[in-house]
Amino acid sequence: MIRVKIYQPIFGGHFVLNDTLTDQHMLNVLAMNDPKGRILDSVEGNVAVAFCIFLGERLYECKQLVKVKQQVSFTTLFTRLYSNVAKICIDDTKPWDFELEEFAVFPNHQVSQVERAA
């Protein structure tokens, strides 16, 4: 297994890639979805890191969609939309390609109401 920590301007995450994922599969996914090689070039050809950035970008999209449809979790949405790319670990009883140990969307905003003095 490979552990990868990613910190991008819009998200951060800790990924664990299962040994079932091959470099060939990750390269095929990257080639189909990033034909200009933007992600792979940005990490100097490190396939696992590039693949995790790609996964993070898709997870980020799911997080944004879930803000609108709050009944669905972002991992469930990812599974529905991207199970052909990689299977996220829900539990160890089912086959999985990667596990998400931590994921955060940046910037984190917190808004609180301020009482105005009379």
Q: What is the pLDDT of residues 54-95, one digit of tens each?
A: 999 999 988 888 776 666 778 888 888 998 899 888 877 888
pLDDT-based confidence at 42, cuts 50/70/90?
very high
79 vs 26, higher pLDDT: 26
Q: What is the DSSP string of the chain?
A: -EEEEEE-SSEEEEEEE-TT--HHHHHHHHHHH-TT-HHHHHTTT-HHHHHHHHHHHHHHHHHHHHHH-TTS-HHHHHHHHHTTT-PBPS-TTS--SEEEEEEEESS-------PPP-
pLDDT at 67: 73
pTM of this prediction?
Answer: 0.82
